[in-house]
Amino acid sequence: MILLGVALGLRWRPPVPPAVILLAAPEALVLAERGPALLAPLLGAGLLLVAELSYWSLEFTTPGRTGARLRVRLSLRLASMAVAGALVGWLVLEVGGLSATGTLDLTMFGAAAVLAILALAAILVRSAVQGTPSSR
């Protein structure tokens, strides 16, 4: 958290990704020890918000640089990405849990569902990246 605060205070971008990784590290160790938890997707959505809002604070430095409508649109897009990411994460955990304990048919269905979810996530990420202010 200190590294992220220093990076934002100095308006220096390179430390932001390592800072977010350090924020996730304790939970990652717990997940590695105990296995996936239902709150893991919520943590992932929170980390997405921390990373995006950190970059936004570095990017939108002057008050009149972007209009209020653009900020509202970007905020709604970010919120929808976080919610969709958490839902996709929970769905992957649930489908993965089903396929681990089921028959061959259920396992094949689980694998196909996970692939479909990952394809949907890739499409969402691609559309989100194309719509971010830094890609314009």
pLDDT < 70 positions in the chain: 36, 60-66, 96-111, 113-114, 128-136
CA–CA separation, 111 and 55 (whole Å): 35
Per-residue confidence (pLDDT) for residue 102, from 0 to 100 = 56
CA–CA separation, 23 and 53 (whole Å): 15
Per-residue confidence (pLDDT) for residue 28, from 0 to 100 = 79
- For the chain, the average pLDDT equals 75
